[in-house]
Amino acid sequence: MRSVQAAGGTPLSEGSPTRPPRGRRIALLATLAAVIYALDLVTKFLVVEFLEDREPVVLIPGALVLNVIRNPGAAFSMGTGLTVVFSLIATGVVIAIIRTARRLRSLPWAITLGLLLGGAMGNLTDRIFRAPAPLQGHVVDFVQVFPATRFPVFNVADSAIVCGGILAVFLAWRGFQIDGTRQDQQEEERADG
């Protein structure tokens, strides 16, 4: 009997498939999403409370500035008139991640989905509850790197979404599946079967 390894290193046997524990992966996803969400909420509260309507705070000259802005659009302030659409897309992303979690057995995918979920919930909270209106709220952005380059101002949620997106592309490229298997292993099993 041939033994196949799941993405997390757990052996999967053809006769009696043993898969990584789903509960632990979901717990990791939920914990990471909650941490990202809490960090995003706390940092936005602090910068709005103490830095909004003030001069930008230079932390590292020429490299890192805290500069509070309200962004009605997406990254690079694109689509500023589509705030409601972005709110609906973020809601769809949250629902899709929660539904996908039912099949989750992969540690790397648990981390990826946790980052994406926490980030999506952070920015969605701004869009729902901040001015000017529900589902039209402007996202609080405050981290500006290399200000001379006009790099966009972002927040904790944006960072988590970008990191999660990069991980998702990498995992998909390498063939890692949500269920803990790898695409090339599934193809080998089909060819052998």
Host H or E run for residue 83: helix 83-100
Among residues 158, 179, 184, 192, the one annotated as catalytic is: 158
Residue 68 in 3-state DSSP? strand
Closest Cα partner for 109 from 184, 12, 16, 117?
Answer: 117
What are the angstrom distances between the C-alpha of 132 and each of 1, 42, 90, 144, 181?
63, 21, 18, 24, 46
- Assess whether the previous peptide bond of 72 is cis (omega < 30° from 0): no
Q: Which residues contact 83 (CB under 8 A, 6 or more apart)?
A: 72, 73, 127, 135, 136, 137, 138
Q: Which two tokens stand for residue 80?
A: 């500023």
| DSSP-derived 3-state class of residue 31 | helix
Q: Based on the residue annotation, tell me whether 158 is a catalytic residue of this protein.
A: yes
Quickly count: other Cβ atoms within 10 Å of residue 26's Cβ.
Answer: 18
CA distances from 53 to 23, 47, 144, 172 (A): 45, 10, 16, 43
Catalytic hit among 40, 53, 126, 141: 141
Residues serving a catalytic function are 141, 158
